[in-house]
Amino acid sequence: CPLLVAPAMNKQMWNNPATQRNAAQLERDGITLLGPVSGEQACGEEGMGRMLEADALSRDIVSFLNGK
């Protein structure tokens, strides 16, 4: 069955080489990553790693499932 993942973390975690390798491996394994996006993070910093907002996440999930 399809697997969708919505990663969320701070920018240092997202930019870590190990995280980037793992995200790339998930995509090679056929897993769809929804996000992350750039924006304000829970830690107060700004950058890539923020989870998609609920409406965007919902829209992307519906779009993905309608294409299947």
Q: Which of 31, 43, 62, 65 is catalytic?
A: 43
Would you tell me how many other CB atoms lie within 10 Å of the CB of residue 45? 12
* β 46-50/4-5 pair status: unpaired
Is-catalytic flag, 43? yes
Show which residues are catalytic: 43
